[in-house]
Structure 1
Amino acid sequence: MVNIASIGGLTGSVAGSAYVASKHGLIGLTRSTAFLYGADGIRTNAVCPGGVETNIGRSAQPKVEWAYERLSKSFAGHVTRTAAPDEVATLVAWLGSDEAVNVNGAVITSDGGWTS
């Protein structure tokens, strides 16, 4: 199983509170599932993309002006590049393959260094 979380699950300054809380929860679920079901051969990992070339930025902007201003300031200087969707898909496919047989409970960023 490969869950798509976000760097929002690793930080507190990427998006709104509900989004960040849900991504933190998904990372916890990933680790718990890996622990509980790993012995049964079920591997569970999470991928945490940073910016990805989608339309989420146009549709998910905060409706509160001060919140949008804070988020815009937090992104300044951090985003070096955004990923193409197929770049993230390549990582997901690898995690689901037999090549990643010993990877379980991992939370892997794909953010171009944003969180480094």
Structure 2
Amino acid sequence: MSDLPDWCTGEDFCPVTATANLLGKKYHPVILHRLLKEEKGFNELKRSIPGVTAKVLSRSLKDLQENRLVNREVLSESPKKVEYSLTEEGRSMEKVLDAMREWGEQNFTEKQG
């Protein structure tokens, strides 16, 4: 049995669809992008993403962990300190995220000013 999410298996599987399903979730690309430079604790990550609620961030991080893109490491129990980092698979998204950033800069930044 495969440990891949349901949308990654079956007759309808397509690599583009699988990637779009993952990155199409509102905060997933931003979370991955924030973790490219350095590991972050939950609150630090939350402060770096305007508008994200703790509930949504927690759910998004769990989804990214289940998809093997993010590691969660408990550093201390009292007070509880958790740090998030990218897995090797998560780091492999760097070119995709860079391409998204570059496209956004070219197509939104220039048109805004």
- Fold match, TM over 0.5? no
| Structure number with higher relative contact order (C-alpha < 8 Å, ≥ 6 residues apart) | 1
TM-score normalised by the chain length of structure 2 = 0.24
More helix by share: 2
TM-score normalised by the chain length of structure 1 = 0.24
